[in-house]
Amino acid sequence: MVKYIVKRLLLFIPTLFVMTIVIFIFMHAIPGDIIDALQAEPGNEEIDRAALEKFMGLDVPLIVQYGRWIGIIRNIDGEYKGILNGYLGYSWIKKVSVNRLFRTSWAMTLELSIIGFVVSIFLAIPIGIYSATKQGKIGDILSRSFAIFCISVPSFWLATMIIVYPAIWWGYTPPLMVVRFRDAPIDNLKMFIIPGILLGMQFCGMIMRITRTKMLDVLRQDYIRTARSKGLSQKIILVRHALKNALILVITLIGQNIPFLIGGTIIIEEIFSIPGMGRLLINAFRSRDNELTGGIILFYTIIVLIVNLIVDLSYSYINPKIRYESK
Amino acid sequence: MSLNKIIKRRFDKEMAKKSACKIMIKKFFKNEKIGSFGLIITIILLIISIFANVIAPYGMNEADIDNKLQSSSSTHLFGTDNLGRDILSRIIYGAQVTVVVGFSASLLSTVISVILGLFSGYFGGKFDLIIQRVVDLMMAFPSIILLIALMSILGTGVVQLIIVLGLRSGIVGSRLIRSAVIDVKENVFVDAANAIGCSNKRILLRHILPHIISTIIILFTTRVPNMVMVEASLSFLGFGIPAPFPSWGGMLSSGREFMIKAPFLLIWPGLALSIVVFGINMLGDSIRDLIDPRMKGIKKRKG
């Protein structure tokens, strides 16, 4: 087990290294750079391009810029200031460092994702199991239709509907003011619960379907038949024999779909005007604030890599086949 | 075995060949009620998008500025938007975009998946290693971020959207094909084909490809609704189809400005999108049940 964890952790480093290269290429492949963006602002038409490039350190070869970005080459001020030192860059549009922008926004995205995740898992797995045990019956059909509904209705549409119609009919709008969890936990949850549910909706439908198929797969195995012929009660068969085996598969698939959930925060934040990472990213893309874009994408990928790591580890922990092999 | 039996068997075989397609279709309509519903939705969508110019009462950008933001009336069935364009017509033209992007991106992605999956599954080795690392890399990005990044590099537009969507899901989906190929490769008939000196090309096309055709079809049918949804999300965020062109996601995002004054701007495109994604999902599910009986559950396991 320890060997496996160490191996996985070591693999983390080259992956991250390649990711930084890819993201750096993205940052520079996007047409138009920060100087174009600054020139587009009113009153800035006369900007001296060459001087500014020199000032920002954009006049050196790309490889040097990359080195500076990840922090292995001294920057203009002669300091090592880059990703390896935990410095993600400087947003020339907002005139603050990327880290500073992150300080308030990461918690928003995280909270949104956690609420979406928790709500959808607690709905999806029980309904999925129920649906598998009642296969072909009315309960199964209803829960499958619910899953299809979750998958088919675009969350961004439902979200706008939820903002619009209560406002027109009852003069009610979901709270859009940003409240920090530390200041007022109840208000904060009130603000996040609707976006969180909407974020989790599609994910919920996906997990429900996965749980159902995996559960059906397991219920058809020989050992379930054996358990049944031993005369065990349906409850014990379900919980001890079927569920345990089905969940191993479900957890891996949940893990694989988490990037999808995290990506969904972008749209939900945009609609509910939550000042999280996703909103920051979209604005950075729009304003060609490439250093900010790179920093955020890197942040997202690190999160995904960590989630994958956790999923792999928990998978190896709950799956006895791996747990015993690697001992 | 008597001659009669042999003749009968041969006759049955012939019949089976001739009517296999018919039986499939009959079985489909009989067993897959919801799937048939999905099929009908899909067919309606196709008809609407092919004959959009004929069906749509107005042009896609025909502005009638005097009647802007009108709700449903006899002249404008679904109302008009902020520039006085007929919403029904824009939804009909939007169906065209949905179909073109949804189907061609899925087709492109499936073709890429099949080619990559066949090669990396069959030959293995270095090529396989590289492709698998690329897939890992792609999966480490949340897909929407990768798509937005690629769209900002290539610029917005229908062709760019198809290429970006097709590439991303094509490369990621190649893993499914690869594992199917590896499964098939273990069979004796592949060894036999090798032993009698078949070329690699022949083995891949005549021996392996026919065995993974059901996986390919399933891959394609699950791609289509996915692509439709992603296209709408990207257009909604402003990274998909450029503005004056009608796409359902874009209509939703531009309607948000007037959402309190004219909520009907938001209802119809979203409803159209939901129905279409629902229909194609249902159709895909049924097709999967039909060609992969193991998914059905009640039936006995093979072997």
Residues of chain A contacting B263 with CB distance shorter than 8 Å: 164-165, 168
Whether B34 has a pLDDT exceeding 80, the answer reads: no
Structure tokens at B172: 């990621």
Q: Which of residues 54-113 of A touch B (CB under 8 A)?
A: none
Which residue in this structure is represented by tokens 């379900």?
Answer: A238
Let me know: does B162 contact B108? Beta carbons within 8 Å. Answer: yes
The minimal CB distance from A160 to the residues B137, B256, B285 is found for: B256
pLDDT of residue B184: 87
pLDDT of residue A118: 92
Q: What is the pLDDT of residues A249-306, one digit of tens each?
A: 888 888 888 888 888 888 898 888 888 888 888 888 888 888 888 888 888 888 888 8
Residues of chain A contacting B233 with CB distance shorter than 8 Å: 154, 156, 267
Interchain proximity B237–A270, CB inside 8 Å: yes
- Enumerate residue ranges in chain A where pLDDT < 50: 327
Read off the pLDDT band of B213 (50, 70, 90).
Answer: confident
Neighbours of A190 (CB within 10 A): 13
3-class SS string, chain B: CCHHHHHHHHHHHHHHHHHHHHHHHHHHHHHCHHHHHHHHHHHHHHHHHHCHHHHCCCCCCCECHHHCCCCCCCCCCCCECCCCEEHHHHHHHHHHHHHHHHHHHHHHHHHHHHHHHHHHHHHCHHHHHHHHHHHHHHHHCCHHHHHHHHHHHHCCCHHHHHHHHHHHHHHHHHHHHHHHHHHHHCCHHHHHHHHCCCCHHHHHHHHHHHHHHHHHHHHHHHHHHHHHHHHHHHHHHCCCCCCCCCCHHHHHHHHHHHCCCCCHHHHHHHHHHHHHHHHHHHHHHHHHHHHCHHHHCCCCCCC
Give the closest-approach CA distance of A71 to chain B in angstroms.
22
Let me know: does B109 contact B223? Beta carbons within 8 Å. Answer: yes
pLDDT of residue B295: 47
Q: What is the pLDDT of residues B271-291, one digit of tens each?
A: 999 999 999 988 888 888 777
pLDDT of residue B104: 94
- At residue A91, φ and ψ (nearest 5 deg) are -90, 110
Q: What ipTM score was computed for the predicted complex, to two decimals?
A: 0.84
Structure tokens at B93: 């033209």
Read off the pLDDT band of B170 (50, 70, 90).
Answer: very high
Q: How far apart are CA A272 and CA A209, in angstroms?
A: 28
pLDDT of residue A326: 52
> In terms of CATH, what superfamily is B6-302?
MetI-like (1.10.3720.10)
Q: Which of residues 230-269 of A touch B (CB under 8 A)?
A: 256, 259-260, 262-264, 266-267
pLDDT of residue A13: 84
B-interface mutation test, from A12, A156, A256, most B Cβ less than 10 A away: A156
Q: How far apart are CA B165 and CA B150, in angstroms?
A: 9
Interchain proximity B233–A267, CB inside 8 Å: yes
Helix residue ranges, H only, chain A = 2-29, 34-40, 49-56, 62-70, 98-133, 138-152, 155-170, 185-219, 222-229, 234-236, 244-272, 277-286, 290-318, 320-325
Let me know: does A203 contact A128? Beta carbons within 8 Å. Answer: no
Let me know: does B113 contact B168? Beta carbons within 8 Å. Answer: no
Average pLDDT estimate for B259-268: 79
Interchain proximity A26–B153, CB inside 8 Å: yes
Q: How far apart are CA A5 and CA A314, in angstroms?
A: 11
Read off the pLDDT band of B57 (50, 70, 90).
Answer: confident
- At residue B37, φ and ψ (nearest 5 deg) are -60, -45
- Please give the domain boundaries of chain A with CATH numbers for all domains: 16-87 (no CATH), 101-318 (1.10.3720.10)
pLDDT of residue B106: 94
Whether B243 has a pLDDT exceeding 70, the answer reads: yes
pLDDT of residue B117: 92
Average pLDDT estimate for B88-109: 90
pLDDT of residue B292: 66
Q: What is the pLDDT of residues B119-153, one digit of tens each?
A: 998 888 888 888 888 888 888 888 888 999 898 88
pLDDT of residue B262: 76
Q: How many CB pairs under 8 A join A and B?
A: 124
Q: What is the pTM of this model?
A: 0.84
pLDDT of residue B297: 42
The minimal CB distance from B252 to the residues A30, A160, A259 is found for: A160
Residues of chain B contacting A161 with CB distance shorter than 8 Å: 266-267, 270
pLDDT of residue A8: 78
Of all residues in chain B, the percent with pLDDT exceeding 90 is 15
- What does the buried/exposed string (b/e) look like for B113-148 if buried means 16 or more CB atoms within 10 Å of the residue's CB? bbebbbbbbbeeeeebeebeeebebbbbbbbbbbbb
Whether B172 has a pLDDT exceeding 80, the answer reads: yes
Altogether, the residues listed in chain A come to a count of 327
List the single residue in A with minimal CA-CA distance to B229: A154
Residues of chain B contacting A295 with CB distance shorter than 8 Å: none
By CB atoms closer than 10 A (0-12, 13-18, 19+), residue B179 is middle
Whether B221 has a pLDDT exceeding 50, the answer reads: yes
Q: How far apart are CA A188 and CA A79, in angstroms?
A: 40
Average pLDDT estimate for B148-161: 88
Which residue in this structure is represented by tokens 């991106």?
Answer: B105
Structure tokens at A65: 């810029």
Read off the pLDDT band of B301 (50, 70, 90).
Answer: very low
Q: What is the pLDDT of residues B178-189, one digit of tens each?
A: 988 988 888 888
Q: How far apart are CA B256 and CA B249, in angstroms?
A: 11
Q: Cα A40–A42–A44 angle (5° rounding)?
A: 70
Give the closest-approach CA distance of B277 to chain A in angstroms.
5
pLDDT of residue A177: 65
